[in-house]
Structure 1
Amino acid sequence: MPKMKILIADDEEHVRQLVCGILDKDYQIVQAKNGEEAVKESREQDFDLILMDIMMPKLDGLAACCMLKGDKQTSAIPIVMLTGVGYELNKKLSQQLGADGYITKPFSPRELRTKINEFIKRA
C-alpha cells in the first residue's frame, strides 16, 4: 500500500527538515518554501494533508489556505497551520479561512504525529 502524502509548506528549511525527520518513515513528504509553491503543488499532486506555516514570503499561509479551500479541486484536503504565532486571533482567522487544525511551534514529535493522525484516516 502506498504511503499517504503530506505537503509541508514552511519558509524555514530547518523546520521542513525537522518535520520530514519526524514523518518520513510513515508518509511520503513533499516540501514547499512558500504559499505560492504550496498552492501550485496542491493543484498538481494529490495530498492527504497539508502542514502550512502562516508567515511565509510571496503568499502567506492564511492566503494560501483560503485559496486551497476555495478551489473545488483542493478544498477537501485537510490543512493544519503550523506556526510560531500562537495568538487566539490567528487561530480564529485560520479556522474562518478553512484551516482544519493548528499546531504552535515549538512542538514535540509526539504532538505532531498525534495531530496528523487526527486528520489522516488510515485505510
Structure 2
Amino acid sequence: MSKIKILIADDEEHIRQLVCSILDKGYQIVQARNGEEAVKESREQNFDLILMDIMMPKLDGLAACCMLKGDKQTSSTPIIMLTGVGYELNKKLSQQLGADGYITKPFNPQELRNKVSEFIKHD
C-alpha cells in the first residue's frame, strides 16, 4: 500500500516543518514555498490532499486554489486553506474558489490531524 501523499504550501519554513512534524507518521509529504510551486507540484504529482497558506509570494493561495480547482487533472484533490487570516470573508472566498476546508493559525495539532483525516480516503 502506498503512503498517502500531502502537499504543504506555505512560504514560512517553520510552519511547513511544524505541519510535517504533526503529520509525518504514515504520510508522504511534499513542500512548496509559494502558490506557483504548489500548482507546479500538483500538476507533476498526484496528491491526496493539499494544505495551503493564503498569503504567499509569486501566487497567493486563493489564486493557486482557483487554478487547481479549475484544472480537471487536479480539481478533485481536496484543498484545506491553512492561514493566519481568520476573517469570515476569506473563509467564504476560499469556499467560493473551491477550498474544501479552512484552518486558522495558530492551530491545535489535533485539530489539524482531525481535519486531514476528514479528507483522506483510507483503504
> TM-score if structure 1 supplies the norm length?
0.99
Deviation sequence 1:43-93 (CA, Å, 0-9, x none): 000000000000000000000000000000000000000000000000000
Instruction: State how many pairs are aligned.
Output: 123
Deviations 1:4-29 (A, max 9, x none): 00000000000000000011112100
Q: Which runs of 5+ in 2 are unaligned?
A: none
In the alignment, the residues of structure 2 paired with residue 102 and residue 108 of structure 1 have an alpha-carbon distance, to the nearest angstrom, of 13
Q: Counterparts in 2 of 1:16-31, with a 5 A limit? A: 16-31=16-31
**SS of equivalent residue, structure 2 residue 107:** coil
Q: CA RMSD in A?
A: 0.4
Instruction: Report what 1:58 is aligned to.
Output: 58
Per-residue deviation at 1:108? 1.1
Which structure 2 residues correspond to residues 1-123 of structure 1 after superposition, within 5 A?
A: 1-123=1-123
Matches of 2:115 and 2:77, distance apart in 1: 15
Q: Distance in 2 between matches of 1:79 and 1:36?
A: 15
**Percentage identity across aligned positions?**
86
Question: What is the identity, as a one-letter code, of the residue corresponding to 1:91?
Answer: K
Give the structure-2-normalised TM-score. Answer: 0.99
| Distance in 1, Cα, partners of 2:52 & 2:98 | 12
Q: Amino acid of the residue matched to residue 62 of structure 1?
A: L
In structure 1, the residue corresponding to 2:73 is in which secondary structure?
coil
1:109 Cα deviation after fit:
1.0
Alpha-carbon distance in 1 for matches of 2:42, 2:13: 19
Which runs of 4 or more aligned residues in structure 1 lie more than 3 Å from their structure 2 counterparts after TM superposition?
Answer: none
Q: Write the letter of the residue equivalent to 2:95.
A: Q
